Amino acid sequence: MDKKDALKMLGVRENAGEEEIKKRYHILLKKYKSLQAEDSENMPDAINMNKLSEAYALLMGFEPTKQGSGPDSTKLSQTEKKIENFFYYYKFHVLFGILALVVVSYIIYSIVSRVEPDVRVAIVGDFNQFAQKEIESHLREEFKEFKEVNVQIITLSEKGNTPQDHNMSMKAFTELAVGGNDVLIMDQVNFEKYSKDGVFLSLDTLIGQLGDGLTEKTYALLAKSDKEPHIYGIDVSGQPILKNLNLKGKAMIIGMRDSAPHYDNGVKVLKLFVKKSW
């Protein structure tokens, strides 16, 4: 078969591009399969599968595949076509899946490879990301025994409808799952979401140590495993430290991670944030 015959077989122009050839080939391929499904005994020569594949390979510049007569060669040919069709129709799905895998892998690697700090604080919600270094510096100044402090600020927009919002939501989920955090600060929307999932530690026994006048600022609710409400968070929105540290958000609720690895240091930070004055 020469190029002229191949063009006639696919019904495309001499100057047709790869996309046009692919589209035309898949149209004829579907037509062939449709006739094949009807068990047609008189398949027209214009839709001969072997010739169609040969014409397509010639116009695309592929090495012509030698067709064997045994069942193995037939199966191999069908498998190659299935793979080609899959990547043609689902190439963007595959690329997005690979990208998502890379993002998740990077997040997990960055979490597990970082230096073990004396305390970890995760701030999740519609907050200002640029306050991270300032908070870390302030905590090191306040607690001289802390050699290393880790603060993660994950900004989640209330709308959450952009690819960046999706990535940040994925980061928040991963951070809370494997980040080993001690103290959590969230806006009200995220606090209610994660506290019901059992992310927070009950503060019932700590309230007495945190000072008077906190009753109206506490958040008590039922987590999934609770039979009665427990206090999981304290509203610290009006605290001077948050204004001084440029941490801006509509509502700020602080709590402890249920599996805090540095529990004692986490309690120190918690007490610091709920103080009335500095």
Query: Looking at residues 1-25, what average pLDDT do you find?
Result: 84
What does the pLDDT look like over 100-140, one tens digit per residue? 888 778 777 766 666 689 999 999 988 877 788 888 999 99
Query: Looking at residues 2-20, what average pLDDT do you find?
Result: 84
Asked if 119 contacts 264 with a C-beta cutoff of 8 angstroms, the reply is no
Whole-angstrom CA distances from 187 to 25, 176, 254, 260 are 55, 15, 9, 20
pLDDT of residue 89: 60
Asked if 210 contacts 270 with a C-beta cutoff of 8 angstroms, the reply is yes
109 occurs within a structural domain: no
- CATH number of the domain where residue 18 is located: 1.10.287
What does the pLDDT look like over 153-189, one tens digit per residue? 888 877 767 777 788 888 888 888 887 899 999 988 8
Higher pLDDT, 135 or 71: 135
Model pTM above 0.85: no
- Find tokens 């990301």 and name the residue: 129
- Number of compact structural domains in the chain: 2
Residues 178 and 48 in one domain: no
Residues 6+ apart with CB under 8 A from 201: 232, 255, 256, 257, 258, 260
| Helix axis angle, 71-112 to 18-37, nearest 10° | 120
Element (H, E) at 151: strand 149-155
Whole-angstrom CA distances from 270 to 13, 189, 210, 266 are 73, 20, 8, 6
CA distance 85 to 114: 43
Which of 77, 102, 127 is the last residue in one of the domains? Answer: 102
Tell me which DSSP letter residue 55 carries.
H
On the question of pLDDT at 85 being above 70, the answer is no
- CATH number of the domain where residue 141 is located: 3.40.190.10
Higher pLDDT, 249 or 271: 271
53 occurs within a structural domain: yes
Asked if 123 contacts 133 with a C-beta cutoff of 8 angstroms, the reply is no
Element (H, E) at 149: strand 149-155
